[in-house]
Amino acid sequence: AATLQQAELALEQFAQTWDNQHPGISKSWRDNWTRLSVFFDYPPEIRKVIYTTNAIESLNASLRQVTKTRRSFPSDDAVLKLLYLALHQIAKKWTMPLRDWKPAMTQFMIMYGDRVSL
């Protein structure tokens, strides 16, 4: 949804369609609406970057690939060290900038100029 009002309307329509089969979904959204609706406080350029999950999904897949070949670890520290080293290798592959990052960065600088710089 483009606006908070449209999102509230969409949630209501979702609830009317699905509450009979899955009543917990819209209830969960409503219970957490004050935290979820903060998303609409940001301009569209920032929202677009926030809800893009491809980078996160790629990172999770890479970490799963590293850990799935090992059946057990001698300690929790061993897992943390493996993930730490894997993150360094994965980060080397991150050469593509986030899509639509420039307009989002411009908005970040307008909103948080004292904390953000190029």
- Nearest-10 Cα torsion for 93, 95, 100, 106: 120
Cα–Cα distance between 108 and 50 in angstroms, integer?
12
Residue of 22, 51, 26 lying closest to 38 (CA atoms): 51
Q: Do 10 and 34 fall within a single domain?
A: yes
Task: Say if 118 falls within a structural domain.
Answer: no
pLDDT at 102: 87
| pLDDT value of residue 31 | 96
In total, how many domains does the chain have?
2
Domain co-membership, 19 together with 75: no
Whether 117 is in a domain gets the answer no
Distance CA(49)–CA(60), nearest Å, equals 18
* Gap between the Cα atoms of 84 and 24, Å rounded: 37
Return the pLDDT at 46: 87
- Contact 73/80 with Cβ under 8 angstroms? no
56 and 79 assigned to the same domain: yes
Q: What is the pLDDT of residue 88?
A: 92
Statement to judge: residues 108 and 59 lie in one domain = yes
pTM assigned to the model: 0.57
Whether residues 8 and 26 share a domain: the answer is: yes
- The tens-digit pLDDT sequence of the chain (118 residues) is 899 999 999 999 999 999 999 999 999 999 999 998 998 999 998 888 877 767 778 889 999 998 888 878 899 999 999 999 999 998 888 777 777 888 988 998 999 888 887 6
pLDDT for res 118: 67
Q: Cα separation of 87 and 100, whole Å?
A: 24
| Domain enclosing residue 86, as ranges | 48-112
